[in-house]
Amino acid sequence: MRLSDKEYRELVSVASSARGGSYSPYSHFAVGAALLSCDGRIFTGCNVENSSYSATLCAERVAIFHAVAQGYRDFTAIAVVGGPSGKATEGECQPCAVCLQVMAEFCDADFEIITENGEGGYNVYRFADLLAKPFKF
Ligand code: THU
């Protein structure tokens, strides 16, 4: 655990707010993400869907690309929240494998992924436990 309880809750709260920006008319599943840089900045993202489906970007990648485009490449943690659009989230939303592969580009094994636990709390995962062997060359 790299952050305090207050910091984990704050990151989940920022991800929940970012979820409000989700553009998800096809899946009706809204996701928000909040990415914490090593120097304490938070970058947000939400999923942005497209009628061609495969052009859709997940919330995590929007947050990461947002940060990288602004010159930030070192990160501590990301909070991810998701659930049916227009409703409060009820359980855990795990990052997809494509987003984990993108995290592998910028994050070390101890980078943390924070999800809601469905009981008003959160779960903390170590990156290397979710994607043990990312593609690298
Ligand atoms: N989605 C995310 O934003 N993050 C993930 O890690 C998994 C899925 C989005 C993509 C799509 O807009 C919707 O959730 C349903 O798959």
What CATH number is attached to the domain comprising 15? 3.40.140.10
Between CA 127 and CA 76 the distance in angstroms is 10
Between CA 101 and CA 98 the distance in angstroms is 5
Do 79 and 125 meet the contact criterion of CB atoms below 8 Å apart? no
Atom 2 of ligand 1, nearest CA residue: 58
Structure tokens at 97: 């494998």
In this structure, are strands 29-37 and 42-46 parallel, antiparallel, or unpaired? antiparallel
Mutate to test the pocket of ligand 1, among 16, 26, 56 (most ligand atoms within 8 A of CB): 56
Structure tokens at 67: 């940060």
Atom 10 of ligand 1, nearest CA residue: 58
The domain tally of the chain equals: 1
Residue by residue, pLDDT tens for the chain (137 residues) are 889 999 999 999 999 999 999 999 999 999 999 999 999 999 999 999 999 999 999 999 999 999 999 999 999 999 999 999 999 999 999 999 999 999 999 999 999 999 999 999 999 999 999 999 999 99
Q: Is the residue at 59 inside a domain?
A: yes
Q: Is the residue at 137 inside a domain?
A: no
Domain extent for 61: 5-130
Q: Is the residue at 72 inside a domain?
A: yes
